[in-house]
Chains A and B, each alone.
Chain A
């Protein structure tokens, strides 16, 4: 089950905790992976760890020209892009009343607009192949909202609407488009929280713990697999029960 041997996958944000784990798991299932991110060192380290079947593609998703070129570069490196995982995301948190246009726009640009552009670019090859898997990493706050994150939550809710609409357009061609919506996940970001903050967060999670990057990667692997061919336009929530939606 969930064998990706012979498939190729482009993962954005692969220098981060969740993105790196997604790349590891897809690679472990047999896929050739293209690791995209802004920071070269962690990408090179991950590629070295994976050994073969891994390509490093440095790309700044806030630059439209670089976004347009990324899928092409990935296809040149791997021969095709069968699986696209839009995992890269940024936050610029702040109360709406004090949020600058720049902080609004940059989050929308990287999280939502780059996702759209990468999907559009990847679809060409997927349509021809009559097979494709797009997995967009949304967030629980795209559904629940979260004070201080109007930009981030809007971008993540936007990814869900984008995915559902795109799923309807391309379902007849063997291409699925789905979202994975993580809740609180152990990453470098959450390690910085103090005990009181952690306690408050965990109080809202019935599972009583944070999730792991592996648990997100496993959801992505499922949606990327042949076995998930009849699942499209869905959002798979991986949040320990903090929002049952």
Chain B
């Protein structure tokens, strides 16, 4: 797994308090990992800080799964 994916996973695990093996490529933050809408905002904020990037609102809306997040950040970072 890439360095970016590791760092994203660490944030998701810490923030949502889920088991690491639940955070799979297709795991949806809301449907599978128990996030509410405010959690998704906080995750995006945490990603922005960790990777020093800006994630605009319209892009944030497309980040539904762990895989989406890694893909977006890999392209943006």
Contacts and interface: CB of A to CB of B under 8 A. Distances in A.
Interface stretch (A12-20, A150-158, A169-177): A169-177
B45 interface: yes
B63 to A, nearest CB: 18
A169 B38 contact: yes
A172 B36 CA distance: 10
Contacts of A124: 45
A127 interface: yes
Interface string A91-115: 0000000000000000000000000
A173 B45 contact: no
Contacts of B45: 124, 127-128
Interface in B23-73: 36, 38, 42, 45
Nearest to A169: B38
A123 B49 CA distance: 15
What range describes how many residues of B lie at the interface? under 10
Contacts of B36: 172
Residues of B contacting A: mostly: helix
A228 B42 CA distance: 25
Interface in A161-188: 169-170, 172-173
A127 B42 CA distance: 8
A160 B40 CA distance: 27
A169 B40 CA distance: 13
Contacts of A173: 38
B71 to A, nearest CB: 25
B76 to A, nearest CB: 20
Contacts of B38: 127, 169-170, 172-173
A81 to B, nearest CB: 16
A173 B42 CA distance: 11
A208 to B, nearest CB: 46
A169 B36 CA distance: 11
A128 B42 CA distance: 8
B64 to A, nearest CB: 20
A153 B67 CA distance: 49
Contacts of A128: 42, 45
A169 B41 CA distance: 12
Nearest to A172: B38
B60 to A, nearest CB: 14
Contacts of A172: 36, 38
Given A124-B45, A127-B42, A127-B45, 5 more contacts: A128-B45, A170-B38, A172-B36, A172-B38, A173-B38
Interface of A: 124, 127-128, 169-170, 172-173
11 contacts: A124-B45, A127-B38, A127-B42, A127-B45, A128-B42, A128-B45, A169-B38, A170-B38, A172-B36, A172-B38, A173-B38
4 tightest A-B CB contacts, nearest first: A127-B42, A124-B45, A169-B38, A172-B38
